[in-house]
A and B are shown apart, each in its own frame.
Chain A
Amino acid sequence: MKSPRRAVTAGALALGLAASLAACSAPAGDAADDQEYGSWEEVLEAADGQTVRLWMYGGDEQGNAYIDSELIPAAAEAGVTLERVPIADTPDALNRILSEVQAGETDGEVDLVWVNGNNFGTGKKAGAWECGWTEMLPNMELTDPADPLLQDDFGTPVDGCEAPWHKAQFTFAYNSETVTDVPSSMEELLEWARANPGRFTYPAPPDFTGSVFVRQVLYSVNGGYENVPLAFDQADFDEVTPALYEELTDLAPSLWREGATYPQDSNELNELFANGEVDFTMTYGPATLTELVANGTYPAGTKVVTFDEGTVGNASFLGLASTSGSKAGAMVVANIALSVEQQVAKALPDVWGQFTVLDLDQLSDEQRAEFDAVPSSPVVPAYDVLSENANPELASGWVSPIDEAWRQQVLAR
């Protein structure tokens, strides 16, 4: 399969380079992938002895600890060596896979990726993910096939291209020692920010958290998520976003440093919150708050605020790279990660505190009791409270245009 694009590239390379470079840039043809398995037994057999590299955001210490102390040993029992590759941001992994796809690599550096949202959507479009494999996982039976969070990932059909891992809920936390008039909606939060200049800010998109904050404001200024079409369309974009940027531009002078600049990422916002420079922080992973308050990073008065209209909720997945050479091993790890044992361990606040993707109604009484025994947090309400009135994510096609227009209209104003 020699496309004209490759021919042009090869020609240009030959012009500039010795034969050595051309030799290693030209893929050895799209060799048939021999990693096809008819049954789960075949997968288990092929997985034995494989090494699986899991690329995931490395800035979440509890997440790292969970992988190291729970998932890696469990994978080792199944004969799979699991390695955790910490990255600064998920696009790093996606970019790596895309480069490998471009180079025709079949035994790439990336096997599994902690992924969702537009990273998944873009990767699916560009052939970065292996698809149609999750139905083979025995533990998929423990999930609810009708759960909308597991069917679509930011509007992109999952199509078995990634295995569910845990659920996330966009959450605001505040310092109850300084915030006495607690807002109960997005609108009130922005009012609060105006009434308390310099005490609120949000990370600059395309940071993951800053990006969802802007989408949450988009829902708010349009009177709720019902009024914003989930599928992207330029005409809809032109209709619903002017109010958003007007609102955020108007808000900017009341923000930290008068909105002249923004935290580069959510870590920077968290630091501002920990240092008492702002009174609010926000996160997709509220469960980590418990530990941060307990170890004194965050003020003791840190509390979670829930909004009447709800906040955005989504699910995280494990994507299997199409360039992986250890697909069977990766499937085994994804299956283990879906087991009751691992999902309970991950839900414990002092381990990672992530909300399970399993459908509790499908579990045995014994298994359900394990989830019931997960201690509740003094800081974070339970998932069913947090996810009340949960808003759906916009289709991934929305994300980049919204972030880019934010750069041009709010950041560069």
Chain B
Amino acid sequence: MRRRWLSAALVMPALLVAGFVVVGGIVMSVVQSVGLDPLVGDARLSLDAYGANAGELLTGTLLSLAIATVSTVLSCVIGLAAAVVISQGRVTGRLVAGLSAITIPIPHLVGAASVGLLLSDAGILPRMLGISSGAWPDLVGGAWWIAVVFEYTWKESAFVALVVAGVLASRVARYDETAALLGASRARRLRHVVIPLARPAVIVCAMIIFVYTLGSYEVAWLLGRPYPEPLPVLAFRLFDSITLTSRPEAAAVAVLTTLISLIAVGVGMALLRRTPLWN
């Protein structure tokens, strides 16, 4: 009993800080979004802020979901492949591990700026290849958000690779060897040993990446186009707008983004519970 109190007391500081930020932020957003904390005028309970940009809210949600889903799937597939290569332990494995480790500390903002310089139609790549800006595809600011997805995938697949490689390193060698001794082929070992071992880590990574890309602003703003806007860009523009009534609308977009993120985490946790290893 005493030990339980002690451990509770020990995590309290972390819990308080997290609770303060998360609960405080969400409560403030909800309060603002329903019109109870306007910059000017009287507080009045209403859902106007949610309806004010209904059209943009819908396109923004679909766009954000699309970007987050594609980035998450690509990152997990590439990251898992890289992790398998890393856990083989050969020279290529060390090279991939090194590349992934270098990628991690680069901030997304810097990554986005670099991708922009590299891939835009007057960027370094078209110049090196001698392709005129007219003939170069609209990777940056184009209709398909390619540069945005590319940036997320590049950064986040490195993250997946390192996390999953860490998990695999602890047990995969032993199981893999046993399976090999029992006569399992490469493909079978991958399917029945490596992937099941990696699955919980991949699901956790996928949750983190999905929620991160759904809520992150700078990459989509720098490499995207002015219309349609993903949710965080829409929220930031409304928050920063000098129309005094648009702050509740920004809060409404933020609340919606939070809701989607919570649902995504819920789905992820359900998937995680169903993996045998987690239990």
Contact = CB atoms under 8 A, between A and B. Distances in A.
Interface in A113-139: 118-119, 122, 125-126
Interface string B192-235: 00000000000000000000000000000100011110000000
Interface in B221-275: 221, 225-228, 237, 239-244
Interface string A85-100: 0000101101100100
Given A16-B24, A277-B122, A260 B143 contact: yes
A126 B36 CA distance: 17
Contact of B227 (A198, A206, A411): A411
B244 A198 contact: no
Q: Tell me the dominant secondary structure on chain B's binding face.
A: loop
A9 B31 CA distance: 7
Contact of B20 (A21, A119, A261, A275): A21
B129 to A, nearest CB: 16
A21 B25 CA distance: 11
B110 interface: no
Contacts of B39: 98, 102, 126
A246 B244 CA distance: 28
A125 B143 contact: no
Contacts of A16: 23-24, 26-27
B138 A94 contact: no
A90 to B, nearest CB: 9
Contact of A412 (B121, B134, B143, B228): B228
Interface in A241-284: 257, 260-262, 264, 271-272, 275, 277
B20 to A, nearest CB: 6
Q: Tell me the dominant secondary structure on chain A's binding face.
A: helix
A277 B36 CA distance: 48
Contact of B133 (A21, A91, A92, A277): A277
Contacts of B31: 9, 12-13
A5 B38 contact: yes
A343 B141 CA distance: 40
A210 B155 CA distance: 33
Nearest to B20: A21
B240 A89 contact: yes
Q: Which 3 A-B pairs have the closest CB atoms?
A: A5-B43, A16-B27, A275-B122
Interface of B: 16, 19-20, 23-24, 26-28, 31, 36-40, 42-43, 121-122, 133-134, 138, 141-143, 221, 225-228, 237, 239-244
Given A257-B138, A272-B122, 20 more contacts: A5-B36, A5-B38, A9-B36, A12-B31, A16-B23, A16-B24, A16-B27, A17-B23, A18-B16, A18-B19, A20-B20, A95-B240, A122-B244, A126-B40, A204-B227, A261-B141, A261-B226, A264-B141, A275-B133, A400-B243
Interface of A: 4-5, 8-9, 12-13, 15-18, 20-21, 89, 91-92, 94-95, 98, 102, 118-119, 122, 125-126, 198, 204, 206, 257, 260-262, 264, 271-272, 275, 277, 400, 407, 411-412
